[in-house]
């Protein structure tokens, strides 16, 4: 009889539909009862022969796999990458070969430090990893939301992670860098100062995964069909702009909704507000890298966009949530060494170590070398090789030939044509074996100063306060002082301001600034601030509210791409002035202003009178103002703003009044009010009122 073809039996479905009509064991045996164990009598002991029970419990006992050492907490989504500009001049990578070409992707965002149970809104670096399912195999672009890193050489990575993780004697604090061991390490590692400036900035408290930049961090190579190479840095820029939480807001969200970033990503995709990023590259032709005052292989340095412009060539759209968090988000495995023809590594010493580390941890975490056969990691391109066996093998290989060269299997699979396959770019390698770095790696402070010089005034204040919080948590006076002295190498002014808040002595002889340069691209002040798309607006209302005004507000917000939710004192339906009832979306008991981008107080004298009597409503308004968000009062709604003692805001006058992101108007000026209010929402924050807001009791 002829042998059956395994493919005909569908032994390797790419994605098996888990839904069925009959309960069964893992072996496919139908099971009529899964609620009661097999016993020796109704009240007797369980029997060891109950294979169904043993299978269920055994599987359950082993459901939890080791979490990632870093980037343990993450969220992910499916989508596609569309090439918008053919890049054949620079790379033979086929996913960049033709404008309009689409490639499926899976993207995982993450926090770096905390474990899986930590909060989303902690001060931390965020991961931004993209798996491209290309026709030439899977390509992984593994990056962060900050373009530089703490260390220059991967050999220091264990020390960095040990220092920033909870201290080993008492295992505290969780998901925080504000403790002695971290700052002890940093104060002795001058190469970390540039990264520390980013970590203390607003970049480390992101508003949303949809509103943060992504960077490849390391330096790679593009190689074109002619063999010409270019050093390359990768960029993801969100179309909604780069926005952050206020620090007080981030801390409160950690308690109100520890899943804030995860929920935001999931809900945005479900609502059709698909996260979108423009993809760009910085390119330096091989042979021209020495003309810069930084080493292009140094991961603690950026390539200033004014010197090396970003060339945009693609767009990433995330349009589908995972079907199963564990199977996809938790089991996805990325590696910087997963490359395709046209993309190659460089001699970046941080990247070189990562090439080994990622694979090593995945073998440990996912149970062996066959993690590439897990559906989310499996390429769409065909796989043919001589890998065999090992734990969790899913592929059923046929035939005798499990070696190469062979004649038994007609020499198949055979090596690819070099013109089509991956060929490492030939780079001359000479030199003495030595543990050393290039001379430009020794400059640790000029780009840290560049970052400081590039910040707006409110961003500088946030950095100073972040240092006060972080270094202020350090119990050792010696470490605090050493850190202040190190900051003095960046800016004497900054060191003095930090010293004042952490009970240290400023540098006795302040050094001149390490750099006078600035880069506007580094400041979030220069990001997109002209769209209300996907913003969340809280509408405060109680019995006696104006129903018609609410309908018009909802329509105007919807036309701008924003979303409104009615916030009422309790969960019962509220009754409008005209007698119509409305079930609120959330209540003052279950929600907070920190979960919204803006607040609008609805018209209706009876409604506002009821809200004025409620402390949570007054606190809601105060908190919105304190976090510099758009705040609106329509008609009688102005009374609640006045009762909340919002400082330095003029409520008198006719027509629409706009002051520091606070918008008020009588009911008759509705259209003008909504236009001004949505403009205030689009601006995201109104940091110019931050100092007055410091006096607000919220």
Active-site residues, by number, are 71, 144
Q: How far is Cα 3 from Cα 1, in angstroms, rounded to an integer?
A: 6
For 227, the token pair is: 């063999």
Q: Which residues contact 120 (CB under 8 A, 6 or more apart)?
A: 73, 111, 253, 254, 258, 259, 260, 261, 262
Q: ω into residue 82 within 30 of 0, thus cis?
A: no
270 burial level (CB within 10 Å; 0-12, 13-18, 19+) = exposed
Q: 333, 444, 324: which is closest to 392 by C-alpha? A: 333
Answer for the pair 662, 655: CB distance below 8 angstroms, yes or no. no
Q: Which residues contact 678 (CB under 8 A, 6 or more apart)?
A: 532, 556, 557, 560, 562
Distance in angstroms between the alpha carbons of the first and the last residue of the chain: 81
Helix-strand-coil percent breakdown of the chain, rounded to 5? 35, 15, 50
Answer for the pair 107, 332: CB distance below 8 angstroms, yes or no. no
Residue whose pair of structure tokens reads 């968090």 in the numeric block = 325
Phi-psi domain of 411 (left: phi exceeds 0; alpha: psi -120 through 50; beta: other): left
Classify the C-alpha dihedral 627-632-636-642 as positive or negative.
Answer: positive
Q: How far is Cα 328 from Cα 355, in angstroms, rounded to an integer?
A: 22
DSSP string, 487-506: HTTT-HHHHHHHHHHHT-PP
Q: What's the full length of the chain, in residues? A: 698
Q: How far is Cα 515 from Cα 518, in angstroms, rounded to an integer?
A: 8
Going from the C-alpha of 314 to that of each of 97, 103, 242, 277, 631, the distances in angstroms are 11, 11, 18, 9, 36
E strands of 440-550, at which residues? 536-540
What SS3 string covers 104-141?
A: EEEEEEEECCCCCCCCCCCCCCEEEEEEEEECCEEEEE
Residue whose pair of structure tokens reads 């734990």 in the numeric block = 391
5 burial level (CB within 10 Å; 0-12, 13-18, 19+) = exposed
Answer for the pair 115, 348: CB distance below 8 angstroms, yes or no. no
DSSP string, 622-635: HHHHHTT-EEEEET
In this structure, the strands spanning 581-582 and 574-575 are antiparallel
E strands of 641-691, at which residues? 657-659, 662-665
Answer for the pair 442, 153: CB distance below 8 angstroms, yes or no. no
Answer for the pair 181, 163: CB distance below 8 angstroms, yes or no. yes
Q: Which residues contact 124 (CB under 8 A, 6 or more apart)?
A: 111, 112, 113, 114, 175, 177, 204
For 540, the token pair is: 């405060």
Question: Quick one: which H or E segment has residue 612?
Answer: helix 605-612
For 194, the token pair is: 């540039």
**Phi and psi at residue 538, in whole multiples of 5°?**
-90, 130
């Amino acid at each position: 009889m002829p042998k059956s073809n395994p493919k005909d039996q569908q032994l390797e479905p790419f994605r098996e539909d888990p839904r069925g009509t009959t309960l069964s064991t893992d072996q496919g045996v139908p099971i009529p009862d899964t609620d009661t164990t097999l016993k020796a009598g109704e009240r007797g002991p369980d029997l060891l022969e109950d294979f169904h029970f043993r299978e269920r419990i055994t599987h359950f006992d082993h459901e939890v796999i080791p979490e990632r050492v870093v980037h343990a907490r993450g969220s992910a989504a499916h989508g596609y990458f569309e090439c918008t500009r053919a890049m054949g001049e620079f790379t033979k990578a086929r996913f960049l070969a033709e404008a309009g070409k689409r490639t499926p992707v899976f993207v995982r965002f993450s926090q770096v430090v905390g474990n899986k149970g930590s909060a989303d809104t902690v001060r931390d670096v965020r991961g931004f990893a993209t798996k491209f399912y290309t026709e030439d195999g899977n390509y992984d672009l593994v990056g962060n939301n900050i373009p530089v890193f703490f260390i220059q050489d991967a050999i220091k990575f264990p020390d960095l992670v040990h220092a920033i993780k909870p201290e080993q004697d008492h295992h505290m604090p969780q998901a925080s860098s504000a403790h002695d061991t971290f700052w002890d390490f940093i104060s002795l590692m001058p190469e970390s100062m540039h990264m520390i400036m980013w970590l203390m900035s607003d970049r480390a408290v992101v508003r949303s995964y949809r509103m943060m930049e992504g960077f490849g961090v390391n330096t790679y190579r593009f190689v074109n069909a002619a063999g010409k190479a270019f050093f390359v840095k990768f960029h993801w820029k969100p179309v909604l702009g780069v926005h952050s939480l206020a620090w007080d807001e981030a801390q409160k969200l950690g308690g109100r909704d520890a899943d804030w970033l995860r929920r935001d990503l999931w809900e945005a995709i479900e609502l059709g507000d698909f996260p979108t990023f423009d993809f760009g590259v910085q390119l330096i032709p091989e042979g021209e890298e020495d003309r810069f005052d930084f080493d292009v292989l140094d991961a603690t340095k950026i390539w200033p966009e004014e010197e090396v412009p970003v060339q945009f060539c693609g767009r990433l759209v995330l349009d589908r949530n995972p079907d199963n968090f564990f199977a996809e988000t938790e089991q996805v495995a990325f590696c910087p060494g997963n490359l395709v023809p046209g993309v190659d590594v460089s001699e970046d010493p941080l990247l070189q170590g990562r090439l080994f580390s990622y694979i090593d941890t995945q073998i440990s975490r996912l149970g062996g070398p066959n993690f590439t056969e897990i559906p989310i990691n499996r390429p769409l391109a065909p796989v043919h090789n001589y890998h065999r066996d090992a734990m969790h093998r899913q592929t059923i290989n046929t035939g005798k030939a499990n070696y190469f060269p062979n004649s038994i299997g007609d020499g198949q699979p055979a090596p690819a044509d070099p013109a089509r396959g991956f060929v490492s770019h030939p780079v001359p390698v000479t030199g003495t074996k030595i543990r050393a770095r290039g001379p430009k790696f020794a400059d640790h402070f000029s780009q840290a100063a560049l970052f400081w010089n590039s910040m707006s005034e409110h961003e500088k204040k946030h950095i100073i306060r972040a240092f006060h919080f972080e270094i202020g948590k350090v119990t050792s006076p010696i470490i605090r002082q050493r850190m202040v002295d190190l900051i003095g190498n960046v800016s004497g002014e900054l060191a003095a301001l930090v010293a004042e808040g952490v009970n240290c002595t400023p540098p006795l002889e302040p050094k001149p600034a390490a750099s006078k340069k600035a880069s506007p691209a580094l400041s979030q002040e220069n990001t997109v601030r002209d769209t209300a798309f996907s913003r969340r607006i809280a509408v405060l209302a109680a019995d006696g509210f104006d129903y018609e005004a609410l309908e018009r507000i909802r329509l105007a917000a919807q036309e701008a791409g924003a979303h409104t939710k009615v916030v009422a004192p309790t969960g019962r339906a509220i009754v409008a002035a005209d007698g119509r009832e409305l079930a609120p979306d959330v209540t003052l008991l279950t929600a907070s202003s920190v979960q919204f981008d803006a607040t609008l107080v609805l018209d209706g004298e009876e409604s506002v009178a009821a809200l004025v009597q409620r402390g949570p409503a007054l606190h809601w308004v105060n908190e919105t103002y304190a976090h510099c968000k758009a705040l609106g009062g329509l008609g009688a709604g102005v009374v609640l703003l006045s009762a909340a003692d919002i400082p330095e805001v003029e409520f008198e006058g006719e027509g629409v009044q706009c002051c520091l992101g606070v918008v008020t108007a009588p009911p008759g000026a509705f259209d003008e009010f909504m236009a001004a209010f949505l403009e205030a929402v689009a601006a995201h924050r109104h940091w110019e009122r931050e100092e007055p807001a410091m006096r607000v009791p919220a």
